[in-house]
Structure 1
């Protein structure tokens, strides 16, 4: 199971939100590229980047720090937030991003997901953010009537590389991930599922790994706070 350290970008800084609330943000580093390099030096194999402003604006906002990270870090990175058309997808992949994460557009324009996945095999992931089992969009500000599993299954034949599943009520709250719901989703689809939201201890990571069906886990606040030692976590997940 791969551990993805998260760098959430707001106003050019690396922050963490609580329950996705932009008004409840904590700045952890005003130099996101330096933070990314620290994660890479600790041994991480991937980076997970989120353009928080972009998720609300519907277009990339924190391009400069993302580009700085891509230029200075040798490991692959995936990015979500504000990626809602083919031109933006192509632009990011041309700049060296390994994988784009399509969230809101996966609900509003699923044909774009299919088109992008065909055009760029292995480089398109779907981000499914859920509140009480239903998909939320536009930076988690809008809740839909779409069920998580239904949305995931609709992309079974699309060629997407991964599903990043976030339980919004767990995100940034250090209360542990929704392991049961994540494992249930992973068993329902053949697409690799990455857990996000609430991963706050080494025990959380080992429990996710022990399900045998979850391909990866994203953690942010716990790495910044020191609740998870990145070196110890990477060693445990390789064991």
Structure 2
């Protein structure tokens, strides 16, 4: 299990929020933590600890003043850790290359691909043509409805008709290098992982998947490793002491294997 660190940016500041609380109206969200440090600070820390493959997420809508502020923060992080972090939030065919040129290793995409509630293969192919499959991460962040996990878009506010299952993973893996999956119903709550989703993802093993959502303890990391059959990487937000939580960042770094994931987390 590899630890993939995060930098979430909202209203021009590094924050941790409750995932399902984002609203376009007045750019509101329920905040767990607002950092006094900028995004460059966190990127420099991750670089020092050799934690490549983490992600920067821009949480404001594209076309707003806050989105521009988010991008300015992201530039600081990409400058500190070039080729060390991925970036998502408002990524389209038009702006994807600019983020790669600024130093992102990959672009992370949801809404542009899952347009109108379905998979927009035209947009997906445009992205592959623009940046290449090897630099594309698809964000399959999802919420449970009627017993199944549906991909959600537009800052996790809108349900699509696309279910996260083996067939969907098989199909989409042909177009991207990795998946990022936020369990939105537990995101930012540090209330425990979404076990059913983790088991579903752990039964599939073709390209890397990073799981995010609900990790609240080292015990949760062990459970994630067990239920995910040691196939999933992990990101931790609100529960990490870097962002006001109780899990020590240094312990997560030391007990997750950045190479093979072979070490067990110590409780």
TM-score range, shorter chain: 0.7 to 0.9
Q: Distance in 2 between matches of 1:55 and 1:110?
A: 21
Q: Distance in 1 between matches of 2:103 and 2:180?
A: 20
Give the match for residue 35 of structure 2. Answer: 28
Quick check: which has more Rg, 1 or 2? 2
Alignment of 1:134 onto 2:112: no
Q: Distance in 2 between matches of 1:143 and 1:56?
A: 22
CA contact (8 A) 1:201 1:222 kept: yes
Give the match for residue 230 of structure 1. Answer: 249
Which one of the candidate residues 80, 83, 94 is aligned to 1:72?
80
1:1-239 equivalent positions in 2, closer than 5 A = 1-22=1-22, 23-25=29-31, 26-54=33-61, 61=68, 62-73=70-81, 76-83=84-91, 85-108=92-115, 109-117=120-128, 119-132=131-144, 133-149=149-165, 150-158=167-175, 160-188=176-204, 190-210=206-226, 211-223=228-240, 224-238=243-257, 239=263
CA contact (8 A) 2:143 2:152 kept: yes
Using the size of structure 2 for normalisation, the TM-score is 0.79
CA distance 1:215–1:122, shift in 2 (3 Å): farther
Bigger fraction of residues in strand: 1
For structure 1, list consecutive stretches of 5 or more residues without a partner in the other structure.
none
Instruction: Provide the secondary structure at the position in 1 that maps to 2:123.
Output: helix
Q: Distance in 1 between matches of 2:219 and 2:195?
A: 12
CA contact (8 A) 1:17 1:172 kept: yes
Displacement over 4 Å in runs of 4+ = none
Q: Distance in 1 between matches of 2:187 and 2:62?
A: 16
Q: Distance in 2 between matches of 1:112 and 1:36?
A: 30
RMSD value, Cα:
2.4
Instruction: Provide the secondary structure at the position in 1 that maps to 2:215.
Output: coil
User: Which digits, 9 at most, give the CA deviation of each residue in 1:162-187, with x for residues without a partner?
Assistant: 11111111100001221331231242
Bigger fraction of residues in helix: 1
CA distance 1:48–1:69, shift in 2 (3 Å): same
Q: How far is 1:15 from its partner?
A: 0.7
CA contact (8 A) 1:47 1:78 kept: yes
Q: How far is 1:74 from its partner?
A: 5.3
Identify the range of structure 1 (229-238 vs 48-57) with the bigger mean alpha-carbon deviation.
Answer: 48-57
Using the size of structure 1 for normalisation, the TM-score is 0.88
Q: Distance in 2 between matches of 1:54 and 1:2?
A: 30
CA distance 1:56–1:208, shift in 2 (3 Å): farther
